[in-house]
Amino acid sequence: AQSVAQPEDQVNVAEGNPLTVKCTYSVSGNPYLFWYVQYPNRGLQFLLKYITGDNLVKGSYGFEAEFNKSQTSFHLKKPSALVSDSALYFCAVRDGDNTGKLIFGQGTTLQVKP
Amino acid sequence: DAMVIQNPRYQVTQFGKPVTLSCSQTLNHNVMYWYQQKSSQAPKLLFHYYDKDFNNEADTPDNFQSRRPNTSFCFLDIRSPGLGDAAMYLCATRLGLGGYNEQFFGPGTRLTVL
């Protein structure tokens, strides 16, 4: 069965420092991986995805993620954090049944302090 | 701008009183999803439509029903809301099958059950 894990409930980082939000996955077949961000009382916003190709994926708002097949990871990164990046981040993997359904991680709250 | 719209943003209902949440989209996506999200947890898929084909998740309670009268609109009906149904309800859309396209989320409807 497909699964995704976000090992950290919360990540704290100072503004201007690099940030990493971790995600590991377990899939049969090729993984389709996604990152979403959710601000309070809002829906999820798509940040980036990995389908195939270059392991470093660039997305919205300066975020990027690195696909690592050997470590089965897809960590989200940003070189310089902003206070406005503070939000709830979800990693997701496509469910294997080809319907486009997503299996979400439990979410990681990112807190960026000035 | 093309988007996913949910109405109302906030809904208060009484225990056992039926309620309907609506979702509309201008993206012309053929797949629509309804999720339930409780207190910063991962969204939980209730059901989805591929065109008019309805797909219910195995653990979605019978209390939850859905209608999709056309491509643009989708409704979530909760026949007899209980206190445990208080949550954020998210609608999402996606183009096609295959799983490589991302889902686009609406802003959500926060349901309160008194």
Residue A74 bridge partners (DSSP) = A67
Going residue by residue through chain B, which has 114 residues, state the pLDDT in tens, using 9 for 90 and above: 669 999 999 999 999 999 999 999 999 999 999 999 998 899 999 999 999 999 999 999 999 999 999 999 999 999 999 999 999 999 999 998 666 889 999 999 999 999
Q: How far apart are CA B66 and CA B47, in angstroms?
A: 8
Task: Give the whole-angstrom CA distance, residue B53 versus residue B51.
Answer: 6
Q: Which of A36, A43, A99 sits opposite B97 (nearest CB)?
A: A99
Asked if the Cβ–Cβ distance from B31 to A100 is below 8 Å, we say yes
Residues of chain B in contact with residue A33, where contact means CB-CB under 8 angstroms, are: none
- Round to whole Å and give the CA distance between B11 and A109: 26
Q: Do residues A44 and B33 make contact, with C-beta atoms less than 8 angstroms apart?
A: no
Residue A107 reports pLDDT greater than 70: yes
Q: How does strand B10-13 pair with strand B109-113?
A: parallel
Closest Cα of chain B to A91: distance in Å?
10
Alpha-carbon distance of A31 to A33, in angstroms, equals: 6
B94 and A100 in contact by Cβ < 8 A?
yes
